[in-house]
Chain A
Amino acid sequence: MTDQILPGSHFDAKLTALQNLLLEMAGRSEEMVRLAVNGVVHRDPARAGEVRAAEDRIDQLELQIDERVMELLALQRPMAGDLRFVFVVLKACRDIERIGDHAVNIAGAGERAAVHPPLPEILEIAEIGDLVRRMLGRALGALVNRDADTARAVIAEDKVVDALRYSTFDIIMSYMSHQARYIPAGMNMILAVQNLERIGDLATNIAEEVVFLVEGHSIKHNRSAGHDEHGP
Chain B
Amino acid sequence: MSAPGPALPVLSTERLTVRFDGKAVLKDVSLEIPFGQVVSIIGPAGSGKTTLLRSFNRMNELMPGAKTAGTVRFQGVDLYAADIDPAEVRRRIGMVFQKATLFPKSVFDNVAFGLRAKGVEGDLHDLVEEALTVVGLWSGGAEVLDARALDLTAGEQRRLSIARALALKPDCLLLDEPTAALDPAASAKVESIIHALRHECTIVLATSDHTQAGRLSDLTAYLDSGRLMEYGATQELFTNPRNERTESYLTGRLP
Chain A bound to chain B: yes
Residues of A within 8 A of B238 (CB): 79-80, 83
State how many angstroms separate the Cβ of B45 from the closest Cβ of chain A.
18
User: A11 touching B252 by the CB < 8 A rule?
Assistant: yes
Residues of A within 8 A of B247 (CB): 1-3, 80-81
User: A217 touching B253 by the CB < 8 A rule?
Assistant: no
User: A80 touching B250 by the CB < 8 A rule?
Assistant: yes
A216 contacts chain B at the CB level, 8 A cutoff: yes
User: B252 touching A80 by the CB < 8 A rule?
Assistant: no
Q: Complex Cα distance A77/B252, Å?
A: 11
B139 contacts chain A at the CB level, 8 A cutoff: no
Residues of A within 8 A of B241 (CB): 80
Known: A1-B247, A2-B244, A77-B211. A9 touches B239 (CB 8 A): no
B2 contacts chain A at the CB level, 8 A cutoff: no
A82 contacts chain B at the CB level, 8 A cutoff: yes
Nearest chain B residue, comparing its CB with the CB of A212: B240
User: A83 touching B252 by the CB < 8 A rule?
Assistant: no
Q: Complex Cα distance A3/B250, Å?
A: 12
Residues of A within 8 A of B248 (CB): 2
User: A84 touching B239 by the CB < 8 A rule?
Assistant: yes
Between B241, B246, B250, the greatest number of chain A beta carbons within 10 A of the residue's beta carbon is seen for: B250
Residues of A within 8 A of B210 (CB): 79
Q: How many chain B residues touch A (Cβ–Cβ < 8 Å)?
A: 14
Would you call the interface of chain B mostly helix, strand, loop, or mixed? helix
Nearest chain A residue, comparing its CB with the CB of B247: A80
Q: Complex Cα distance A91/B238, Å?
A: 19
A78 contacts chain B at the CB level, 8 A cutoff: yes
A6 contacts chain B at the CB level, 8 A cutoff: yes
Residues of B210-255 whose CB lies within 8 A of A: 210-211, 238-241, 244, 246-248, 250-253
Of B240, B246, B251, the residue contacting A78 (CB under 8 A) is B251
State how many angstroms separate the Cβ of B207 from the closest Cβ of chain A.
14
Would you call the interface of chain A mostly helix, strand, loop, or mixed? loop
User: A82 touching B240 by the CB < 8 A rule?
Assistant: no
Nearest chain A residue, comparing its CB with the CB of B214: A79
Q: Complex Cα distance A78/B253, Å?
A: 12
Of A79, A216, A217, the residue contacting B251 (CB under 8 A) is A79
Q: Complex Cα distance A15/B183, Å?
A: 29
Q: Complex Cα distance A153/B55, Å?
A: 51
State how many angstroms separate the Cβ of B148 from the closest Cβ of chain A.
38
User: B252 touching A217 by the CB < 8 A rule?
Assistant: no
Q: Complex Cα distance A84/B251, Å?
A: 11
User: B253 touching A6 by the CB < 8 A rule?
Assistant: yes
User: A216 touching B252 by the CB < 8 A rule?
Assistant: no
Of A6, A9, A79, A216, the residue contacting B250 (CB under 8 A) is A79
State how many angstroms separate the Cβ of A169 from the closest Cβ of chain B.
41
Known: A2-B253, A11-B252, A77-B211. A83 touches B239 (CB 8 A): yes
User: A84 touching B252 by the CB < 8 A rule?
Assistant: no
State how many angstroms separate the Cβ of A212 from the closest Cβ of chain B.
9
State how many angstroms separate the Cβ of A213 from the closest Cβ of chain B.
10
User: B244 touching A9 by the CB < 8 A rule?
Assistant: no
Q: Complex Cα distance A216/B239, Å?
A: 7
Residues of B within 8 A of A79 (CB): 210, 238, 250-251
Between A78, A79, A216, the greatest number of chain B beta carbons within 10 A of the residue's beta carbon is seen for: A79
Known: A79-B210, A84-B239. A1 touches B251 (CB 8 A): no
Q: Complex Cα distance A78/B238, Å?
A: 10
State how many angstroms separate the Cβ of A1 from the closest Cβ of chain B.
6
Residues of A198-232 whose CB lies within 8 A of B: 216-217
Residues of B within 8 A of A83 (CB): 238-239
Q: Complex Cα distance A82/B210, Å?
A: 15
Q: Complex Cα distance A127/B40, Å?
A: 55
User: B244 touching A80 by the CB < 8 A rule?
Assistant: no
Nearest chain A residue, comparing its CB with the CB of B239: A83
Residues of A within 8 A of B240 (CB): 80, 84, 216-217
Q: Complex Cα distance A81/B238, Å?
A: 9
Complex A-B: 8 CB contacts under 8 Å: A1-B247, A2-B247, A2-B253, A9-B252, A80-B239, A80-B241, A80-B250, A84-B240
Instruction: Give the interface of B toward A (CB within 8 A).
Output: 210-211, 238-241, 244, 246-248, 250-253
Query: Top 5 A-B pairs ranked by shortest CB distance?
Result: A216-B240, A79-B250, A80-B250, A80-B247, A82-B251
17 more contacts with CB within 8 A, not counting A9-B252, A80-B240, A81-B251, are: A1-B247, A2-B251, A2-B253, A3-B247, A6-B253, A11-B252, A78-B251, A79-B250, A80-B238, A80-B239, A81-B247, A82-B251, A83-B239, A84-B239, A84-B240, A216-B239, A217-B240
